């Protein structure tokens, strides 16, 4: 009996943006090791990156934060304006909380450091492609929490807001969000419709002065809502490379 043909794996198109050719080649090698059918494109600056994005159906972009003639965060902004459905992971040596907050505010799917392992990078790309949440390197997360002790930075920082204005229901929802629960999980746990959960989350974001789940969870933990940093199972909200799910 003839064996059934195996389905052909889909090619994954990934763009690597970095001003150092050696770094691009090295990252490209790692990506191909992780995804055997990967089609890797390279760009040395923002102009080259936008040109590639315009001519190729890129599915994930890995972008350095700082390049001599390009601002990676401005490039991120431009990419999300023109290709909002393409996840962009910042891959850099700079772990300053200000850069991370700006990247998340601009819609980055993740913020990884260049000392990440190949397995970390593979996980980050898979999570980004699935739309499962933000992927942050553990040191990045630690820096974000530590930076909250000093309040918001002068440029786009997230300052913890008093939670006294939150209702009990909103506090309950926020605590579940910190645990990494999806809207569906929250709705089941609290016997609410997903529509109602979304409405509560919108109110929570407004009261906390944040724009997404990641920021809301960080503010919540800094104010004692939900488990502490070491206990977090970031789940759908934030994935930590190397952690066991």
Note whether 141 and 160 are same-domain residues. no
Note whether 139 and 158 are same-domain residues. no
What's the pLDDT band for 163 if we cut at 50, 70, 90? low
**What would the pLDDT profile of 99-128 be if each residue is shown by its tens digit?**
888 888 888 888 899 888 888 888 889 888
Note whether 187 and 232 are same-domain residues. yes
Quick check: is 3 in a domain? no
Note whether 196 and 219 are same-domain residues. yes
Note whether 181 and 119 are same-domain residues. no
Note whether 134 and 186 are same-domain residues. no
Quick check: is 35 in a domain? yes
Residue 59: predicted pLDDT: 95
Beta strands in the chain (DSSP E): 12-17, 38-43, 60-63, 66-67, 70-71, 88-92, 110-113, 134-136, 238-239
Paired tokens of 208: 């906390």
Alpha-carbon gap, residue 238 to 148, rounded angstroms: 18
Note whether 39 and 132 are same-domain residues. yes
CATH code of residue 43 = 3.40.50.2300
Note whether 123 and 158 are same-domain residues. no
The better pLDDT of the pair 105, 244 is held by: 105
**What would the pLDDT profile of 193-224 be if each residue is shown by its tens digit?**
999 999 999 998 888 777 778 778 777 776 66
Note whether 130 and 165 are same-domain residues. no
Quick check: is 6 in a domain? no
Quick check: is 191 in a domain? yes
N-to-C CA span, the chain: 40
**Number of domains the chain contains:** 2
Q: Which of 145, 166, 198 is the last residue of a domain?
A: 145
**Domain of 63, in residue numbers:** 12-145
CATH code of residue 187 = 1.10.10.10
Note whether 49 and 134 are same-domain residues. yes
Quick check: is 5 in a domain? no
Bin 224: left if φ > 0, else alpha if -120 < ψ < 50, else beta.
left
Quick check: is 182 in a domain? yes
Note whether 195 and 140 are same-domain residues. no
Q: Which of 120, 145, 170 is the last residue of a domain?
A: 145
Quick check: is 119 in a domain? yes
The per-residue pLDDT of the chain, averaged, comes to 79
């Amino acid at each position: 009996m003839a064996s059934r043909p195996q389905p052909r794996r889909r090619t994954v198109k990934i763009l690597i943006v970095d001003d150092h050719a050696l770094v691009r080649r090295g990252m490209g090698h790692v990506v191909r090791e992780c995804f055997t059918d990967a089609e890797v494109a390279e760009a040395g600056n923002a102009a080259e990156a936008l040109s590639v994005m315009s001519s190729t159906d890129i599915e994930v972009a890995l972008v350095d934060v700082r390049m001599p003639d390009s601002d990676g965060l401005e490039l991120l902004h431009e990419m999300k304006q023109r290709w909002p459905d393409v996840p962009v992971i910042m891959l850099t040596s700079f772990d300053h909380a200000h850069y991370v907050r700006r990247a998340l505010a601009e819609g980055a799917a993740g913020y990884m450091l260049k000392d990440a392992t190949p397995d970390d990078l593979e996980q980050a790309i898979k999570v980004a492609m699935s739309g499962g949440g933000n992927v942050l390197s553990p040191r990045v997360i630690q820096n974000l929490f530590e930076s909250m002790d000093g309040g918001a930075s002068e440029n786009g920082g997230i300052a913890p807001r008093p939670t006294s204005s939150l209702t009990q229901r909103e506090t309950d929802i926020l605590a579940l969000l910190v645990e990494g629960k999806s809207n569906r999980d929250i709705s089941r746990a609290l016997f609410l419709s997903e529509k109602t959960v979304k409405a509560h989350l919108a109110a929570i974001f407004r009261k906390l002065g944040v724009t997404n789940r990641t920021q809301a969870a960080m503010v919540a933990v800094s104010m004692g809502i939900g488990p502490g940093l070491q206990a977090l199972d970031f789940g759908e909200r934030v994935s930590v490379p190397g952690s066991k799910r």
